[in-house]
Homo-oligomer: A and B are copies of this chain.
């Protein structure tokens, strides 16, 4: 993916040859003009009702706009439009929509697994978005200025695969549709950006997608405010979402949508598939709230399309209206029939998550008048959609030309924007990381983290983030910037409010918007529990979000067990593709940030202390990069009497115990084990040099669950930790009562060696 996100300067050069008036203002005017002209049926429609559509039968025929609704003028496009007369087009739109339906039906049927109901109901909006509304380049799905589309109701992924296939994305060929949900295919059971080029994020767990979309729209608004110039709107795209009842019920969507309203994300347009069916049956059994009113309360513009099945013009008009509302996100409630076209299963939960069955597939073919073999795309539909390849290339070329102009006029801004677009790092960025000596003042790692964040903000143009209403506790404010707000979107301190889950998913969206974004977010470590589903998606979808998690143990003291993490370190060490880092002091915090920034496809969690910690001799950035390393040792021949292992705030305790044991004549190695995952990746030789197999006398100390530590200390070693909930009291008292002490380490070491 990263390689394709480069700027394609050769294409840009080509574009300048094709476009006679390649000035940076051209695309804007062309785009505006064509946006207006491409919706011929938008003649002042204000109230959208189903009667606005001239068709209504459930055979699927519907009125359509009279001209090919393409939105960007170009030689290639104009030709495509002119070859379609009105009649052809009306039937073609219908045919295209049914193609989407049957590709979905056929793929689910062949796999005998999947969710046909949503694609059948949402095919009209899918068609209109991908064929008429959205700007993208199928041959370069990561073209920077593309419109983003998120299927938040990810189980309906066949909708998107069918659309990508028709639109000419190489990632979804006919054979991919035929191997839907099979081992190694590009068409997994839910949309996965890391498997299928053209998918923006990973959805399926409900509510994540709409929250990701808020992040994508935030990213666009931020970049546009930061980089656009009066003579060049170099950043300018929409974010479209389809979400369902399930997404609406999840709390995360309310969190994210409340923020979207607060921030006034006018280019976020969410189409809500209002089909009244969830897995357990009619939504009446559990979902009777007034969604429209709730979204109005959240500050959204709300439109209701009453006939989402065949009222294509209603859908078009709604999208036009949504685009015209610049200061609010829009929710378009599109009332549809799940499984539209299936004579016996439409409008029932049975069509939600199972194949229709051969008999019902036949009945649906008859009902919708579809004479074709499975997986067949009619030639005229194919031809119709084929325009997107040249048009997409032209769009990108046009933008590239524009960028070339921009770069000439605004070289500094262009450089920063390019870093964000490509994900390359400014040379020497890591030199900005602060360094510490044992003489540097003791400090909490949350404060040291803030020093690092502020140092990095100066050199990393894509660093952006904030806290869930704990900025002053998590120490995450970037002092050189103001708040990202509706009126100041160019700023970089994001105020998420007390919305951890939404925050995590929004950061996933930011991170996946462009490779150079480094999104960070913060709360107390224990509240990763609130956002764990989003963190897992970060790990799965390769979004390199940095989770700044402070108050990382009983060391937070008086707030008590509800606020004291115990099992959290273990729970993330068990999670695939994530780095769990627990730095012990300034140098280790800098190392943790270096690792976190460099790991663009792996999120990092930094567990940071509330309490002050000394700057320890022997710690280093390089050490952190290896995950585990020796910070002090008085043994020789790689044969210490005992190895003491600590992480974070307990490394100090291990070091102090080591000092004392050495005074008593022991050969003691003290090891910092800041990241298990990074250590695991080192060579066997290196690992042996730190933890020699022959030395079984090992003591670990960490103010958290001992679960998992047996792997490190071995069957004969001793893991000192906390296997109960915490307590409310001053931190020092809890450490003592729980036996997280130097004395305990010394006693264990003596017992073992």
Chain A residues engaging chain B, CB cutoff 8 angstroms: 111, 113-114, 154, 181-185, 188-190, 192, 202-207, 245-247, 249-255, 258-259, 261-262, 278-280, 283, 285-294, 296-299, 349, 467, 469-473, 483, 485, 495-502, 526-527, 529-530, 532-533, 536-537, 539-540, 557-563, 566-567, 570-571, 573-577, 705, 707-708, 710-711, 714-715, 723-725, 727-730, 733-734, 737
In the complex, chain B residues whose CB is within 8 Å of the CB of A727: 183, 188
Shortest C-beta distance, A153 to chain B (Å), equals: 11
Q: Which residue of B lies closest to A182 (CB)?
A: B729
**In contact, B734 and A557 (Cβ under 8 angstroms):** no
Of all A-B residue pairs in the complex, the 6 with the closest CB atoms, nearest first, are A251-B251, A286-B497, A188-B728, A293-B297, A204-B562, A571-B571
In the complex, chain B residues whose CB is within 8 Å of the CB of A293: 293-294, 296-297
The answer for the CA separation of A545 and B388 in the assembled complex, in Å, is 54
The answer for the CA separation of A252 and B566 in the assembled complex, in Å, is 22
Contacts A251-B501, A297-B289; A154 near B707 (Cβ below 8 A): no
Q: Which residue of B lies closest to A115 (CB)?
A: B559
- Chain B CB within 10 Å, residue with most, of A111, A154, A561: A561
**In contact, A251 and B502 (Cβ under 8 angstroms):** yes
Contacts A204-B562, A251-B502, A724-B576; A533 near B540 (Cβ below 8 A): no
Shortest C-beta distance, A501 to chain B (Å), equals: 6
- What would be 10 A-B contacts, judged by CB atoms less than 8 Å apart? A111-B558, A183-B737, A188-B560, A204-B559, A250-B498, A293-B293, A530-B533, A537-B562, A567-B575, A576-B723
Contacts A287-B262, A299-B288; A563 near B204 (Cβ below 8 A): yes
**In contact, B262 and A255 (Cβ under 8 angstroms):** no
In the complex, chain B residues whose CB is within 8 Å of the CB of A495: 280, 285-286
Q: Which residue of B lies closest to A716 (CB)?
A: B715
List 8 extra interface pairs beyond A251-B499, A290-B297, CB under 8 A.
A113-B558, A183-B733, A280-B471, A285-B483, A285-B485, A293-B294, A501-B530, A567-B576
Contacting A707 at CB < 8 Å: which of B261, B532, B570?
B570
The answer for the CA separation of A207 and B299 in the assembled complex, in Å, is 22
Shortest C-beta distance, A190 to chain B (Å), equals: 5
Contacts A298-B294, A708-B707; A562 near B202 (Cβ below 8 A): yes
**In contact, A183 and B729 (Cβ under 8 angstroms):** yes
**In contact, A567 and B571 (Cβ under 8 angstroms):** yes
Q: Which residue of B lies closest to A295 (CB)?
A: B297
Copy number in the complex reads 2
**In contact, B705 and A574 (Cβ under 8 angstroms):** yes
The answer for the CA separation of A557 and B114 in the assembled complex, in Å, is 11
In the complex, chain B residues whose CB is within 8 Å of the CB of A472: 279-280, 349
**In contact, B559 and A189 (Cβ under 8 angstroms):** yes
The answer for the CA separation of A483 and B286 in the assembled complex, in Å, is 10
The answer for the CA separation of A279 and B524 in the assembled complex, in Å, is 13
In the complex, chain B residues whose CB is within 8 Å of the CB of A254: 251, 254-255
The answer for the CA separation of A396 and B190 in the assembled complex, in Å, is 56
Q: Which residue of B lies closest to A568 (CB)?
A: B574
Contacts A254-B254, A279-B469, A723-B576; A728 near B285 (Cβ below 8 A): no
**In contact, A291 and B297 (Cβ under 8 angstroms):** yes
**In contact, B729 and A562 (Cβ under 8 angstroms):** no
The answer for the CA separation of A253 and B501 in the assembled complex, in Å, is 13
**In contact, A278 and B469 (Cβ under 8 angstroms):** yes
- Chain B CB within 10 Å, residue with most, of A207, A536, A724, A733: A536
In the complex, chain B residues whose CB is within 8 Å of the CB of A560: 181, 188-190, 192, 204
- Chain B CB within 10 Å, residue with most, of A252, A577, A733: A252
Shortest C-beta distance, A726 to chain B (Å), equals: 9
Shortest C-beta distance, A109 to chain B (Å), equals: 13
In the complex, chain B residues whose CB is within 8 Å of the CB of A287: 258, 262, 497
Contacting A249 at CB < 8 Å: which of B182, B349, B497, B570?
B497
**In contact, B111 and A278 (Cβ under 8 angstroms):** no
**In contact, B532 and A498 (Cβ under 8 angstroms):** no
Contacting A562 at CB < 8 Å: which of B286, B502, B540, B563?
B540
Q: Which residue of B lies closest to A497 (CB)?
A: B286
The answer for the CA separation of A279 and B576 in the assembled complex, in Å, is 33
In the complex, chain B residues whose CB is within 8 Å of the CB of A496: 286
Shortest C-beta distance, A356 to chain B (Å), equals: 16
In the complex, chain B residues whose CB is within 8 Å of the CB of A563: 189-190, 204-205
In the complex, chain B residues whose CB is within 8 Å of the CB of A286: 259, 262, 469, 495-497, 499
Shortest C-beta distance, A722 to chain B (Å), equals: 8
- Chain B CB within 10 Å, residue with most, of A204, A473, A559: A559
Contacts A183-B734, A280-B470, A499-B251; A708 near B289 (Cβ below 8 A): no
**In contact, B725 and A540 (Cβ under 8 angstroms):** yes
**In contact, B529 and A574 (Cβ under 8 angstroms):** no
In the complex, chain B residues whose CB is within 8 Å of the CB of A278: 469, 497-498
The answer for the CA separation of A251 and B557 in the assembled complex, in Å, is 27
Contacting A710 at CB < 8 Å: which of B192, B247, B471, B711?
B711
